[in-house]
């Protein structure tokens, strides 16, 4: 904007503002006095190899770019020459700037390491007058998610923690943030002394909640503001999410979750669906999902069971998962088929031993993205599953490198390109273990998947067919890395559940 109502480009240069991101908090902010814009942009030459988003500030008006009393010519010159100023210095990603209500400070999230999308998200605050910047989360080993200012003396934030995303309070003195509410929260915003946020759970999609944050020393229980789905959800028999912990790789504590079918009879045996999350730096937890909903998997296709039940669904947060500290999250890089595979197998051993209603002779493994990779890895390393579902997973690590739009991702996870790290790529490439493939497998892939090219799915399916392993492929010509269209989602669930029923239903006979 400018004087005289003439538009002015505030974000000059041949770079996207904001850069590509998958939703979440805004990547720009306007100062309370309306005089300055802070925004996020990546100005590296090749964005496909970079996570180095930066924070820039720029005057909003020509008048704010020069001292008062200047001549019209000076204003016009300022209009033409005012340039954004980069204020971030990290080689990793900097994002989501937000001014304090009094305008004295500018906060943003920052990652320290270049090229590592799952590095710890720190919370930086800059004094706008002195330019001094400090990290409010130096003593905090979790990644900052959504955040908002509480007045101008502290910041409220969320951070994934053991399957939830609690709300924390961080003071400007840099002491460790204090936990306020244990739930799964996001999209924080304050209005006076009231905090508003979205809350989801495993049995409910997002609703709006509120909490009084006028005095953080007093207990304040959040309350729901919206109730749009209450009546509908009250008619659905959804089961609670049960947590368990076991000793995984390196004898570390690993958390898992289980959902049982409606009307569970613990004296009977139930087949199991073993879900594997993507990311790989992601996590299962007390949050809603439309694409991999365990409640739908637990019910399955009831007509296939003739009243005999449903499925137990088990999900493991293996090494590499988020919400357990940065060391745990980072431990998967360079070890895709190592510790995570050990965790998954030990987790499966644990639930088979602990819960006698699980039928270990009727188990299916299902995963997408990294979960699809792990499904492919499992295919060549164990035959304990009756069937497998592999969705958008890496099959050939070397060929996948040249067909992804996120080169920075594979460069980090495999320590460089395949011509420099050939041994590591081949060590963990599922296609090199095809001689051991035996398990019936459903392959799913989308034509518009630029994260993992559709050729990965065709390569896996062709290999299975050549080996005469029972297999089927579900191909979506109009989907990318995720199945997003409602009718496609219905087809996806039906196809996946039908495939698992085919091999795991109580009525099935034979191998």
Give the least confident one: 45-49, 457-461, 483-487: 45-49
Q: Which of 172, 200, 231 is the last residue of a domain?
A: 231
Q: The domain that contains 347 carries what CATH number? A: 3.40.50.1820
**Quick check: is 379 in a domain?**
yes
pLDDT at 1: 44
pLDDT digits (tens, 9 = 90+) for 330-356: 999 999 999 999 999 999 999 999 999
Decide: helix, strand or coil at residue 298: helix
Question: What single-letter DSSP state applies at residue 356?
Answer: T
Q: Are 138 and 147 in contact (CB under 8 A)?
A: no
- 369 included as an active-site residue: yes
Prediction pTM value: 0.92
Q: How far apart are CA 501 and CA 362, in angstroms?
A: 10
Query: Around 363, how many Cα atoms within 13 Å sit in the side-chain half-sphere?
Result: 21
pLDDT at 104: 97
Q: How far apart are CA 266 and CA 312, in angstroms?
A: 11
Tally of domains in the chain: 2
- 449 included as an active-site residue: yes
Percent of residues, the chain, with pLDDT higher than 90? 81
Same-domain pairing of 466 and 491: yes
**Quick check: is 416 in a domain?**
no
Q: How far apart are CA 38 and CA 27, in angstroms?
A: 8
Q: How far apart are CA 245 and CA 233, in angstroms?
A: 29
Q: The domain that contains 83 carries what CATH number? A: 2.120.10.30
pLDDT digits (tens, 9 = 90+) for 246-296: 999 999 999 999 999 999 999 999 999 999 999 999 999 999 999 999 999
Same-domain pairing of 142 and 216: yes
pLDDT at 509: 40
For 319-403, list the strands marked E by DSSP.
Answer: 358-368, 387-391
pLDDT at 11: 83
Same-domain pairing of 168 and 57: yes
**Quick check: is 226 in a domain?**
yes
- Tokens, residue 335: 């070890």
**Quick check: is 302 in a domain?**
yes
Q: Which of 205, 231, 257 is the last residue of a domain?
A: 231
pLDDT, average across residues 157-186 = 94
- With 60 as the cut, is the pLDDT of residue 196 above it? yes
**Quick check: is 486 in a domain?**
yes
Which residue would you say has higher pLDDT here, 70 or 228?
Answer: 228
pLDDT at 93: 95
Q: How far apart are CA 144 and CA 140, in angstroms?
A: 9
Same-domain pairing of 163 and 270: no
State the pLDDT confidence band at 2, using cuts at 50, 70 and 90.
very low
Catalytic residue among 333, 481, 489, 498: 481
Q: How far apart are CA 454 and CA 450, in angstroms?
A: 8
Same-domain pairing of 56 and 202: yes
**Quick check: is 429 in a domain?**
no
- Tokens, residue 193: 């002394």
Percent of residues, the chain, with pLDDT higher than 70? 92
Same-domain pairing of 222 and 250: no
* Domain, as residue range, for 349: 237-404+443-504
> Any bridge partners for residue 41, and if so which?
54
Q: Are 190 and 180 in contact (CB under 8 A)?
A: no
Decide: helix, strand or coil at residue 458: helix
Same-domain pairing of 278 and 200: no
- With 70 as the cut, is the pLDDT of residue 304 above it? no
Rounded to 5°, the CA angle 439-484-372 comes to 25
pLDDT at 308: 57
**Quick check: is 25 in a domain?**
yes
Give the least confident one: 99-113, 193-207, 209-223: 209-223
Decide: helix, strand or coil at residue 299: helix
Same-domain pairing of 226 and 317: no
- Tokens, residue 219: 């207990």
pLDDT at 215: 85
Same-domain pairing of 152 and 32: yes
Q: Are 133 and 126 in contact (CB under 8 A)?
A: yes
Same-domain pairing of 113 and 132: yes
Same-domain pairing of 25 and 60: yes
Question: What single-letter DSSP state applies at residue 453?
Answer: -
φ/ψ of 330, rounded to 5, equals -75, -10
Catalytic residue among 335, 343, 392, 449: 449
Strand order across the beta sheet in which 185-191 lies:
185-191, 194-201, 204-212, 223-224
pLDDT digits (tens, 9 = 90+) for 21-39: 777 788 899 999 999 999 9
Same-domain pairing of 204 and 312: no
Of 296, 210, 216, residue with least CA distance to 261: 296
**Quick check: is 424 in a domain?**
no
pLDDT digits (tens, 9 = 90+) for 74-89: 555 555 567 899 999 9
Catalytic residue among 88, 321, 369, 505: 369
Q: Which of 192, 207, 231 is the last residue of a domain?
A: 231
């Amino acid at each position: 904007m400018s004087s005289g109502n003439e538009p002015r480009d505030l974000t000059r240069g041949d770079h996207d503002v904001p850069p590509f991101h998958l939703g979440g908090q805004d990547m720009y902010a306007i100062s309370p006095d309306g005089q300055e814009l802070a925004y996020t942009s990546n100005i590296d030459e090749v964005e496909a190899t970079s996570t180095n988003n930066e924070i820039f500030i720029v005057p909003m008006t020509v008048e704010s770019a020069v001292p008062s009393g200047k001549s019209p010519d000076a204003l016009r010159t300022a209009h033409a020459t005012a340039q954004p100023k980069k204020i971030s210095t990290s080689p990793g990603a900097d994002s989501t700037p937000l001014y304090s209500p009094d305008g004295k400070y500018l906060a943003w999230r920052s990652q320290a390491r270049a090229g590592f999308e799952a590095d710890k998200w720190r919370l930086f605050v800059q004094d706008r007058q002195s330019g001094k910047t400090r990290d409010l989360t130096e003593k905090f080993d979790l990644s900052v998610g959504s955040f908002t200012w509480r007045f101008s003396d502290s910041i409220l934030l969320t951070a994934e923690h053991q399957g939830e995303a609690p709300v924390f309070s961080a003071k400007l003195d840099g002491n460790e943030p204090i936990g306020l509410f244990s739930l799964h929260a996001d999209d924080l915003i304050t209005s006076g002394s009231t905090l508003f946020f979205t809350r989801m759970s495993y049995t409910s999609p997002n609703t709006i909640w509120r909490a009084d944050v006028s005095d953080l020393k007093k207990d304040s229980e959040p309350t729901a503001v919206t109730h749009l789905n209450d009546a509908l959800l009250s008619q659905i028999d959804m089961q609670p999410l049960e947590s368990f912990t076991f000793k995984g790789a390196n004898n570390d504590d690993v958390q898992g979750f289980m959902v049982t079918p409606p009307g569970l009879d613990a004296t009977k045996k139930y087949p199991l669906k073993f879900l594997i999350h993507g990311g790989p730096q992601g996590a299962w937890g007390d949050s809603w999902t439309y694409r991999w909903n365990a409640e739908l998997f637990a019910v399955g296709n009831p007509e296939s069971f003739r009243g005999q039940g449903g499925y137990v669904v088990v999900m493991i947060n293996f090494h590499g998962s988020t919400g357990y500290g940065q060391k745990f999250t980072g431990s998967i890089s360079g070890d895709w088929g190592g510790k995570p595979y050990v965790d998954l197998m030990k987790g499966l051993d644990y639930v088979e031993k602990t819960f006698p209603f699980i039928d270990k002779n009727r188990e299916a493994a299902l995963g997408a993205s990294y979960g699809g990779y792990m499904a492919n890895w499992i295919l060549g390393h164990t035959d304990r599953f009756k069937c497998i579902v592999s969705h958008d997973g890496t099959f050939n690590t070397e060929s996948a490198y040249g067909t992804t739009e996120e080169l920075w991702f594979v460069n980090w996870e495999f320590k460089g390109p395949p011509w420099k790290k050939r041994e590591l790529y081949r060590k963990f490439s599922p296609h090199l273990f095809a001689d051991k493939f035996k398990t019936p497998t459903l392959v799913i892939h989308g034509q518009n998947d630029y994260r993992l090219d559709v050729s990965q799915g065709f390569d896996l399916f062709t290999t299975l067919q050549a080996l005469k392993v029972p297999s089927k492929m579900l191909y979506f010509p109009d989907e990318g890395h995720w199945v997003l269209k409602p009718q496609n989602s219905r087809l996806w669930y039906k196809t996946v559940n039908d495939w698992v029923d085919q091999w795991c239903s109580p009525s099935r006979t034979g191998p």
